[in-house]
Amino acid sequence: MTGMRILVVDDRFESRWGLADWLVAFLEAVAVESAASAAEALQAIERRMPDVVLVTRPLPEVEDFDLARRIKALPVPPVVVLMTERNDAELEAACEAARVDFWLEKRHLQARLFSFLEQRFTLKLIPTRLFS
């Protein structure tokens, strides 16, 4: 797949841009956009539909799974990945009810996100280069 579009939704500037930089550094042919709120995310989705929306939880000023439900209500919704601090059975049930495609703890982001994206989409990781 060429030209995968990813939208990162996180209210913290450093987290949002750190994740965007990380995705661009390791994934080939990826365009990353970011949003600081649910309202910004919905505007960005309306402008140009991403393939994947990475949403941090919790987001201020929005009910816990409202953004995921609104995205999944679109006629052809993107894949929604929820990033959280802590995972438990209650969170898993809420994610399933909101039709979240994948959820993971932020501490497992690097280990699990690329694996999920590789399985869900045809994409390539940028080969790492070792410097001596």
Domain ranges in the chain are 4-119
Q: Which of 5, 9, 4 is nearest to 81 (CA)?
A: 9
| Cβ 53 vs Cβ 41: under 8 Å | yes
Question: Residue 120 carries which side chain, given as an amino acid letter?
Answer: R
Residue 103: other Cβ atoms inside 10 A: 22
**pLDDT for position 130:** 40
Cis peptide before 58 (omega within 30 of 0): yes
Mean pLDDT by 10 residues, the chain (132 residues): 83 88 85 93 95 86 83 95 85 90 89 86 64 40
**pLDDT for position 132:** 39
How many whole angstroms separate alpha carbon 33 and alpha carbon 53?
A: 10
CATH (one of 3.30.1380.20, 3.40.50.2300, 3.40.50.720, 3.50.50.60) for 4-119: 3.40.50.2300
